[in-house]
Amino acid sequence: ILNVEQSPQSLHVQEGDSTNFTCSFPSSNFYALHWYRWETAKSPEALFVMTLNGDEKKKGRISATLNTKEGYSYLYIKGSQPEDSATYLCAFTRGNQFYFGTGTSLTVIP
Amino acid sequence: GAVVSQHPSWVICKSGTSVKIECRSLDFQATTMFWYRQFPKQSLMLMATSNEGSKATYEQGVEKDKFLINHASLTLSTLTVTSAHPEDSSFYICSASVTSGSETQYFGPGTRLLVL
């Protein structure tokens, strides 16, 4: 079983604050790194798929970076809004298998 | 696009009964479907991978006779928990992808199973 770690486990921020969290994964035999947003009682929503070292992806106020050599990815949220409250999951893939972290639970306080 | 539904969303059953969970891709054909299980405060753990028309591939430690998977069409996979016991209580979630590679998996909303 591959170890994918996410930190922090949970996070509370004020509306308007920017925030970031980390996904750490094995740096060997890397294939892709996925980020998902998971709101309560809904399906996890795919945010980004990143495959190349140095990749940066952006979707609105959310962006992500990837460092495959050291085995980490950062997810950034600029100007957090209450609707950003969710659990953010990362998944490392090797071959066709996904290995998930336990997620970072973000609560944005109005 | 890429919507996956899962039914039921929650189920409570008595120990010893069987429970069937359906996973459907609503607007695309899913060559491969995946079944995960998540225990409290743990990550999603892959139970099995199923390709349409063939037998599912189970992960180590997952009993294939207990967790029956059928992927009879490109839009439907079912997971049957046979003779459920309290330790099977968990959150079960499916996902689907167009190919069997490492592209994005599209998830259902999950099923919470409680076995009394």
Rounded to an integer, what distance in angstroms lies between the CA atom of residue A60 and that of residue B33?
A: 30
- The structure tokens 């970031």 sit at A20
Q: Terminus-to-terminus CA distance in chain A, angstroms?
A: 39
Model confidence over A72-99: pLDDT tens digits?
999 999 999 999 999 999 999 887 788 9
- The structure tokens 């740096």 sit at A27
Chain B residue with CA closest to A35: the answer is B104
Pick the closest to residue B47 from A100, A39, A28 (CA basis).
A100
Residue B30: the pLDDT is 87
User: Coil, helix or strand for A83?
Assistant: helix
Q: Is the dihedral of CA B13, A42, A97, A64 positive or negative?
A: negative
Ranges of H-type helices in B1-116 = none
Rounded to an integer, what distance in angstroms lies between the CA atom of residue A80 and that of residue A109?
A: 9
- The structure tokens 């992927």 sit at B71
Query: Is the pLDDT reported for residue A109 higher than 90?
Result: yes
Chain A nearest-CA distance from B105, in A, is 8
What integer is the mean pLDDT of B2-27? 95
- Cβ–Cβ < 8 Å for A98, A91: yes
Tokens linked to A85: 């409250």
Chain B nearest-CA distance from A38, in A, is 9
- Do A34 and B34 lie within an 8 Å CB cutoff? no
Q: Which of residues 35-64 of A touch B (CB under 8 A)?
A: 36, 41-44, 46, 49
- Give the mean pLDDT of chain A: 94
How many CB atoms are closer than 10 A to CB B90? 20
- Do A41 and B43 lie within an 8 Å CB cutoff? no
Query: Is the pLDDT reported for residue B86 higher than 60?
Result: yes
Query: Is the pLDDT reported for residue B1 higher than 60?
Result: yes
